[in-house]
Amino acid sequence: MAKQNLSVGSAANDGTGDTLRDGAIKLNSVIDELYTNLGNDTNLQVNIGAPVNDQVLRWTGTAFTESHLDSLSADLNVKAFKIISESAGNIVIEPDTTGDIEFKAGSQGSRKAYVDGADGYFKWTAPYALLSDLPDVTAHHGMLAHVHDTGKAYFAHSSWIQLLDVTDGISILTDVDTTVNGGPSDGQVLKWNGTSTKWEPANDETATGGGGTTQNLFETFTGDTGTTTASAANDTFNIVGGTNISTALVGDTLTVTMTGALGAPDQNLFETFGADNGTTSATVTTDTLNFLGGTGISTNLNAGAITFTNDSPNIVQNVLQSVSGDSGSYTAVASNSGITIAGGTGITTAVSANTLTITNTASFPSANENDNIVYDGSQFIATESPTVSFRITSDLSNGYRFDGGGLPSSTNNPTIYVYRGFTYRFNNTTGGGHPFEIRLSDGGSAISGVTGSTSGVQFWTVPQTLSAGTTYKYQCTIHQSSMIGDIVVV
């Protein structure tokens, strides 16, 4: 039914409001709807008896009635709130019979700690695989934990400190050092060492110890080489003879006997003899030393005297000690020093008996009358007239450069002046990168009379028939615009 309101009119007794009948009809309709929704007095779903403070309405299956909230029908979400007590009261969680109180990790869903309902003890699982997995020690001060990798227990106190267990030996203690003198031996005890501030294994005898009668004993023995230290109260020290020495112990008496042959007393002997070259040492008591003469020397032994005789007396000799050349010199360092006479370029030497032969092996090319001999860097060649040589380089592809013939070597594409009847040699060291060609004009054909290779050496004899002022072009056949210059006949 839609909501109905009584109309009271605009003013009292103005005749604009509901009549008493219409108002009663609306009021009865509202009462009927409430009555029906409340169960018509037979199905009323709210049944309140005598509620007390803090009770709530709970559904009993047939109606809502007052009750304490003493059980949950779903998970309790405290959101950002707490479960608290008042008047210093306890918060008691009491499972039924042997039920456990479990604490679960929210992201894992399995319990990590619980109160066992069977015995009431608090138990937990600490699955720390490695020591590095333990939580921050400052935030967990006083916490106990077990690390599976080491099989040890630890507690947090400024750092994670390992606890001792029955499987740990005494050596794990920081003030005990059982490695001293190779470790403990049977019968030794731990003694305090004030220098190292550690307990260390040692024999159980001292001048002030509890061994009964005071004893003065040697603990360490030293020989010509090596020492030994007793490592136990019942350690054994052996006295063994060396070469030609024997020892015997009878009762409390030690006898040392020399078993080898004794020599005469008071002997001063040389064991090792040295010479200008080499040494020798006696290997047995009956060893022999022989004195032998070298080249030109003889020896003679008579009774206790050895005589050395020079069988080849020195002859006065005039010998050159130092030899000098055009460059360098040599000075003999011994009487048998030698000197080698070696030939230079085009020269060979040969020694036969007492004769030294020096031969010129350089050959000149065949030449015609009036030819000139010119060295081209590796050999001599014949040219028919006076020859001027140019060594050609380049400034990358920016221009040719020339060395020789009086040209400036740092100038790109200089003008070359040539004389009629002279021969000119052009050595193009740039090779195939910048082929050098003498042309009639810029980009024109090559002139005649030039021999050789544009990427190597070329010769050109200037004809007498040319007129003074005749101008040719030298040009790179690849970089024609930048590597080009004039050749002018004088």
Q: What is the mean pLDDT of residues 63-69?
A: 83
pLDDT at 454 over 60: yes
Q: What is the average pLDDT score of the chain?
A: 84
d(CA 334, CA 315): 17
For the ranges 234-243, 270-279, 369-378, 430-439, the lowest mean pLDDT is seen at 369-378
pLDDT surpassing 80 at residue 430 = yes
CA nearest to 448, candidates 457, 433, 456, 458: 458
Round to whole Å and give the CA distance between 436 and 474.
7
Estimate the share of the chain in helix, then strand, then coil, as percent rounded to the nearest 5: 5, 30, 60
Which of these ranges, 40-44, 159-163, 247-251, 458-462, has the smallest mean pLDDT? Answer: 40-44
Share of the chain above pLDDT 90, in %: 33
And the tokens for 128?
Answer: 């720390």
Structural domains in the chain, CATH included, are: 372-489 (2.60.40.420)
Provide the pLDDT for residue 63.
77
What per-residue confidence (pLDDT) applies to 206? 57
- Residue 370 is predicted with a pLDDT of 53
**pLDDT: is 67 or 346 the higher one?**
67
Residues whose CB falls within 8 Å of the CB of residue 232, separated by 6 or more in sequence, listed in order: 185, 186, 187, 188, 203
* Helix/strand/coil for 423: strand
For residues 322-329, average pLDDT: 85
At residue 77, the pLDDT reads 85
**C-alpha dist (Å) from residue 265 to 33, 262, 268:** 150, 9, 10
DSSP-assigned states of every residue in 49-85: ----TT-EEEE-SS-EEEE---S-SS----TT-----
List phi, psi (to 5°) of 335. -70, -20
pLDDT-above-70 percentage for the chain? 88
pLDDT at residue 210, as a whole number: 47
Which of the residue ranges 94-108, 178-192, 226-240, 321-335 has the most confident prediction, judged by mean pLDDT? 178-192
Res 209: pLDDT: 46
Question: 10-25 pLDDT, tens per residue?
Answer: 888 887 888 888 888 8
Q: Which residues contact 365 (CB under 8 A, 6 or more apart)?
A: 373, 379, 380, 381, 382
Which residue in the block uniquely carries the two structure tokens 């990427």? Answer: 455
Per the listing, tokens 């030497």 go with 349
Report the predicted TM-score, pTM, of the whole model to 2 decimal places.
Answer: 0.31
Phi and psi, residue 454, nearest 5°: -65, -20
Burial category of 61 from C-beta neighbours within 10 Å (exposed 0-12, middle 13-18, buried 19 and up): exposed
Distance separating alpha carbons of residues 385 and 489, to the nearest angstrom: 16
**Quick check: 267 pLDDT over 70?**
no
Residue with tokens 């009878």: 250
In the block, tokens 């006065």 appear at 316
Find all residues with CB under 8 Å of 477, minimum gap 6, and list them. Answer: 435, 437, 454
Q: Is the pLDDT of residue 336 over 70?
A: yes
CA distance 459 to 386: 12
The pLDDT of residue 332 is 82
Q: Which residue has the higher pLDDT, 376 or 337?
A: 337
pLDDT at residue 489 tops 90: yes
